[in-house]
Structure formats: C-alpha cells, structure tokens
Structure 1
Amino acid sequence: IGDHIAGQGSLTSFGPQHLSNTSWAFATAGVSHPQLFNKIGNHVAGPGSLDSFSSQALSNTAWAFAAAGVSHPVLLKKIGNHIAGLDSLNSFKPQNLSNTAWAFATAGASHPTLFKKIGDHVARLGSLDSFKPQELSNVAWAYATARRFDLGLFEKFTEVSARKGEFLETQHIANFLWACATVGHTDERLFGAFAPVIGSKLDECNEQVLANIAWAYSVANAPQDLFSEGYVSAFALNEKEFSGEQLAQLHQWQLWQQELESGIELPQAAGFELEEEVLLGSGYRIDALVKVGDGRKVAVEVDGPFHFIDRRPAGRTILKHRQVVRLDRIKVVSVPYWEWDKLMSSETKQHYLRAKLSNGQIM
C-alpha cells in the first residue's frame, strides 16, 4: 500500500481524512516508510489551504509524523500556523489538543504561538474533567519538553490534584509531575495529593518512573512519607536498570534527602579572588567561586539558555542553587545569560559582577 501511494503522480484524489488516516496507520503500526511520509507531507505542505482538514485530521497528521520519527519542518510549520490562526479551538477535543502539543514537542518543532494558543484555550476551560489522565500528562510533558512555561495552563493543572485517583498508570503520574517540576511549577497541593497514590503503586514503577518522581519531589522541595523504606527498596530492585541520566536524578534526590553548565568565561580581572569551574563537595560543578571582602566564598553561576524556561529558572536550576546553599553552605549569585550577553566589554562585565555582589543579590 505504501509503495503504491508513494508512487502515484499526485495525491489530489485523497481527501484530508484519507491522508491523515494513512499516515496515522503506518505510524501506529510502527511501519517505516519514509517515501510515503514524504509524499503525504509534501502534498499537505503544498500551496493548498488546510481549511478542509478537521481538528482530528490536523492533530493526527502531526502526531503521525512525530511518532514515526519523520522530520518535515515545513509540514509542521503549516499545521502550526493554521491552528494558531483559528478563531477558537472549540472544535478540538482533549485528545486532539494533547496529540498536537505532543507532536510538536516530540519533533522539536518550535512554534510559540501554537503553544500559546493551546495553553490559553485549556486555561480558559471551565474544568479539565473531559481530559483523560494520559492527555493531561501528555500536554504537561509537551510544554516542559518544548520549554514553554504557560502560567495559566500550569495553574489550571492544580485542579488535577482532585482527580489523583484516576491516574492508574504510574508513567502518566511521573510524566505529569516531572513536567511541573521542570518548568518550576511546584504547587504543594499537587505534589501532596499524588504522594499516597504513588506510594500505593511502587511495585508498578519502573526505573524511569522512580527516578523522575524522586527528581520532581526534590525540585518541589516537598518532603513526603512516600520516600521511606518502601521507595528505597523499589530503587534496589531496579538498581541495575538505571541509566546515567536517571542515576544523576537520583543523586540530586539523595542530596535533597540530606537537606531535611555554563561555558561562559568570567573576567579574571574583576578585582576578585576567583576560581573557575570548581567541583563542590556536594558533587555540583559551579562556574566560579569568588572570595568577597569579608572572606566568605560566593558561587557565581552564569546561567545559559537551558537553565531557563521563558526566562524563569528551570526546575534543575532551582534545585542546584538551593542545594549548593544548603549542602555546601555557599551563597549563590545567578547571572542570567540575557543580561550577561549585553555586556560587550570586560570592563562592563567586571562592573556588573561587582554590582551583583555588593548589592547582595545572593540566593
């Protein structure tokens, strides 16, 4: 079938539903057919309008290309522009919204106006009762993965705490809480509500779920009885399965339990006694350790783009700064990259650092 369709001169005889269903079927079946996807993608991305595509056809087409791992930036841009330009998203069901957001995040397709459109729509809904747990989890995961923080959307997600019992799959819980922690939305009600649910499902948690949940609660700084002997035993049962990234998450969780990356060059002649790229006792590496006038040492972190989401500190940035303060007992001065990049000379950078340190902008 794939060879036959891909070999046709044109796809003008295919309606939107035919194109959407075909790409969806191949992606769902896990059948690789790049020529078929390129044929469909080029046809849909062509000069014609997408007005004849239903919300389901649009979302399924985007989802299929992302799920199949077929890159077609022109297609996704056209779909994103079309959806973002609609008067409303009332015709989009929760699954359509979830699939669309998931597709763009998975494909790494940046489209801020599309994410804003979806976020504004969901935030304005009277309730989230029509969303299944997987759909809620996927939307949250998509925004965190795409590094889009939508305050209204994530505040709306706080309502989900009342539906905690509906989350039957531990993967959905882990993805949802990981997403909230990643964007720095650490509402106590949300994390508190899910703790007993997780505790009752520890035997269903794989290593990724365990690591993501532990990291999320570390970022949220929300101590729970959840992290008792049972959770540690679950770690032990999966200890040989953890990846390097998951072990790093668990190290941060361990540091959090003990509490209860930037390559931007710093000016050496700033008038301070300064050590660069210092490995601290906690295991964290900081950009610089500066000795200030009274003999105290202060950590200076020049935080690059991946330390922020929409110019808000990302979850891992919040966690690192807090743990350096509490575990290493060293105060932290954060230098956002957008402020640092404006400083064109070594002299202005020196003045900026002196002002930061002398004004007491220390976390």
Structure 2
Amino acid sequence: MAAAQGDHCALLSIFSSSHPCFNDVCFATLMSRLGRLPKRDAAAAKRDERYRTLLAMLPAIVQEGGAQAISNIAHALAKLEEQSEESGAVLDAVEERADWFVDQGSPQNIANAAWAFAALNRHAPALFSAIDARADWLVRESEPQHVANTAWAFATLRLDAPALFPAINERAHWLVNQSKPQAVSNTAWAFATLGIAAPTLFSAIDARAEWFVQESKPQEIANTLWAFATLRRDAPALVSAIEARADWLVRESDARAISNTAMAFAELSASAPNFWACLERRGEAFAARANVQDVCTTAWALAVGGRTNTNSGLLRLLWGEAMAAGDGAISAENVSQLMQVGLHAQGDGVKLQSAPDALKQKMLEAAADTTLTSSGRFEDRVARYLTDLGLKHTRQYPALGAKFAGYLAVDFAVQANDGAKTVLECDGPLHYLHGPLGEGAGRETGPTVAKRRLLERRGWRVVNLPWFQFRKLLREGGGEAVKRWLAKAIK
C-alpha cells in the first residue's frame, strides 16, 4: 500500500480489489493513508462510492479489531473531518468497546482516540469516563504530547476529569520540562478552558518562560498567556519574556492572537509598553486584517491597561474602525467594551469621534444593563461596621451617575469626616491574581486597577478593602480591628 499512499484513486482501488483479504491492521493502514491526503485529494476520495463502502465496513472492524487499529481508524476519521452517518456508526462502535479499549490500548492509542472524538465534536461518555478512571497510569506512562492531547480533548468537549487534571498538575514539572511548546500551550489552554486551577503547572510554565517564548509560535504564546489571564494566575516572567520579543510577536501574529495577548495583558495588570508601542507602529496593518471583535477587544485592553494617553493614536484608530463597522456588526459584549473604552478615554482627556446614534444608544443600554455584583456577607458586615462608626453611606452607589448605574456602581459611597467624596470597595478574590500570598491574594487585576483609576479621574477618593486584609483584621482583633482600619482609611 506504500506505493499508493499519496493517490486516493490508487488507495481505493487497492481496497476495492483486495479488501476480502484485509485484517484490522490493513483497514486501519488504509484509513491512515487517506487521512494524510492533502485536503483536495481527501475531498475527492470522500466523493468516491468506494470510500462510502469502506466506511460502511468499519463498524464491524472496530468491533473485532485491536486497540491500535481502532485508534488509527478514529484518528483518520477526524483528519478527514468525516461527519457522516456512516462515520457515526464507526464511532459508536468505539464507544461500545470503551472499557476494553482503554484497558488494552497504549497511552498513544488512547490520546489519539480522545483527540479524534473531540476534533469531531463527538461526545463519548463511556470512553472519556474510562480514560479518567485510568488517569494516574495514563499520565505516568505517556509521552508529554499524549497527555496534552488528552487534556485538550476533555477541554474541547467541556468534560470534567476529576482524576486526570490533578494527575497532570502533580507531574507538571515533568510535562513542562520534557514537552514541546505546543504541548505546554495546549495543556495550559485545557486547564483554563475548564476553569481548573493548577498552581504547579502554571508556576512551572512561568519558570521556563524565556525558553517557551523563544521556541513557541505566536499562537501558542497568545493561548498560554490567555490561560494565565483566564485563571487570574500571575505571570511575571512570561510577561517579561513576551515584552522582550514584542516586535516579533506583533509582526508574526494573526489578529486574534494579538487581540488575545492584549486582553491578557490588561487582565493581568501588565502595562506592556513595548507590546503597545510595537502594535501602534503596526496599527494600520493590524486593523486591516482584524475583525470587529478583535478591534473592540484590543481597544478595551488598551483602555483598561491605562494606555489611552500614551497610545492615543492607536486608540483613535481602533475606535474609528469600530465606529465604521456599524452597530449591527458589533456584539453585545463588544458594545459593552466600547462603552468602557469611551469612559476611560473621557476620564483621561482623550477625545474620540462621536459614536453613531444607534451605537451610542446601545452603549448606554449596556451601561445600564450590566449585572450588579456584590461581595455578599463581606459587604454586609462592613456596612454594620460603618454604621457603628457613625459614617453615613450608600450601598451600590452609581458613582458616575444614574445612567451608568449598572456598569459602575460602587460598594459604598461614604460621607467621610473630611468631606472628601469617598468610595469604599470590598474586594473579594476575583479582584486579585493568584500570587505568592495565596489563591486570589496577589496583585490586583487590571479591571480592578482601571475602575479605581476611572473613579479617581472623576474626583473620588477610593479605598479598597481586600478580602484577605479583612480576614486578617478579624483574626487579630475582631470587629473592633476592622473598625479601626476603616476609621483610619476613610478619615
């Protein structure tokens, strides 16, 4: 079959004439050859009636075949992007043998099959449950790439893996030290997509940041930084390494990678001056290939990152592109982002062109409709302490006026003794990155810093009470200690 491996007609002719003599290995080899065809040839093969006959025979092969053959067949179907009823029957046959397959297959067999199901967006509860049941063995015996592919498959299908992901985190240093950058990036992406904290993994990645950024493709870097930001995991070394290669990254990245990198910098409260300067120099080229989502997200990141004055030329360019797109092309999320951009630009004294009336109305509606958040019991207790101190206060106060009540309500507006307009924010764990002080007790996130900056531009004095500071005060001196802290902070 080797002589025909690049010719779909020859491959299917061999099948047509010889399949009565085929065993499971022959069928799997034929499928693998078809799966490696160039897209045009693969599409032609899929239109051939002989190919349909081949697909119809595969469920029986899977029901009797070995683990290697089953894995190769499933992998080939994914490579061929095969979504037919016939291929569904093949995958159903794999699912029926899931326990046996995972018990008998090698880590590579299992990883390839999991990848195939995920690539075809095919849920297979028995297969993935069986994989998770053998997670410790799989991670211990696999190559790093197989571990990464398996994690990617679970995340792509949004499947819980209570054993797999802790096992990966436990062996994080091995994975990061032995993997290629793509495997590291895919693994980080998988954890972030499922919202699974992995302190060992992300610390290991940050420790090898220079190697990772030097050896990775731009998309891998963007995805990994996005993973850090999504999990609010501080990444000082990774940010520094990306900054050092910012010109290359901006030059070589596609628009989505640039947008995701910008968003991550903003979420991580990383100023990234080199990145923004490089992007401003290439702003026209970026805008020419970016879609409206990328434009709006990048403008939001620039504003939240406090770069509206320093990179005002880039901001005006992005804003103009968004205005030209028209309100019908802008999603509700992007409308909310543009509303925030406009507020930050106004607060920093940067004049932007007026939004069209329809878009302006949507931006105002976004400001009014954003869901209010509250720190719950934390905020309730602080309210009692303010009352005990005789400090008049209003909860969920619209600090920028009633029309922005949804977007920028503050926890407390307090009438301070010195008469200053004072805001008190009770900041829970979501306002902080995971850092050296513990989970959600590191540096402030970018949006938290940006909110304070905006309030201060509007004449408010802002007092932030972190949740971990509040708990420390309670441990050391109870409510009286908290009241002393509030009295001193608010004056």
TM over 0.5: same fold? yes
1:191 to 244, 265, 276: 276
Q: Which runs of structure 2 are paired with 1:1-363 in the superposition (5 Å)?
A: 1-8=90-97, 9-10=99-100, 11-42=102-133, 44-45=134-135, 48=137, 50-84=139-173, 86=174, 89-123=176-210, 125=211, 128-222=213-307, 223=309, 224=311, 225-228=313-316, 231-258=319-346, 259-260=348-349, 261-263=373-375, 264-265=379-380, 266=383, 267=385, 268-281=387-400, 283=404, 284-310=408-434, 311-326=442-457, 328-344=458-474, 345-358=478-491
Q: Deviations over 1:196-248 (max 9, x none)?
A: 33432324323321221111101222232122266324334152243433322
Matched position secondary structure for 2:412: strand
Matched position secondary structure for 1:341: helix
Greater fraction helix: 2
Change (3 A) 1:128 1:207: same
Question: Which blocks of at least 5 consecutive residues in structure 2 are unaligned?
Answer: 1-89, 350-372, 435-441
The answer on whether the counterparts of 2:202 and 2:233 sit within 8 Å (CA) in structure 1 is: yes
Shift of 1:96: 0.7
The answer on whether the counterparts of 1:102 and 1:139 sit within 8 Å (CA) in structure 2 is: yes
Aligned residues: 351
Q: Deviations over 1:140-191 (max 9, x none)?
A: 0000001100212221121231214433421100101111110111121121
The answer on whether the counterparts of 1:207 and 1:235 sit within 8 Å (CA) in structure 2 is: no
Q: Deviations over 1:62-95 (max 9, x none)?
A: 11110122221211111221234x3x73321110
CA distance in 2, matches of 1:230, 1:148: 28
- Amino-acid identity (%): 28
Give me the TM-score of the superposition, normalised by structure 2. 0.67
The answer on whether the counterparts of 1:6 and 1:39 sit within 8 Å (CA) in structure 2 is: no
CA distance in 1, matches of 2:251, 2:317: 26
Q: Deviations over 1:278-301 (max 9, x none)?
A: 102263211111222232221111
What amino acid does structure 1 have at the position aligned with 2:132?
G
Residue 361 of structure 1 aligns with which residue? Answer: none
The answer on whether the counterparts of 2:95 and 2:124 sit within 8 Å (CA) in structure 1 is: no
CA distance in 1, matches of 2:248, 2:291: 23
Matched position secondary structure for 1:276: strand
CA distance in 1, matches of 2:258, 2:318: 18
The answer on whether the counterparts of 2:250 and 2:275 sit within 8 Å (CA) in structure 1 is: no
Q: Deviations over 1:268-326 (max 9, x none)?
A: 22232222221022632111112222322211111111111122110100100000000
The answer on whether the counterparts of 1:210 and 1:235 sit within 8 Å (CA) in structure 2 is: no
CA distance in 2, matches of 1:98, 1:148: 15
Give me the TM-score of the superposition, normalised by structure 1. 0.90
Q: Deviations over 1:108-145 (max 9, x none)?
A: 1111111111221224x2x7332111001001000000
What amino acid does structure 2 have at the position aligned with 1:319?
A
Shift of 1:49: 5.9
Change (3 A) 1:120 1:156: same
The answer on whether the counterparts of 1:183 and 1:315 sit within 8 Å (CA) in structure 2 is: yes
CA distance in 2, matches of 1:17, 1:106: 23
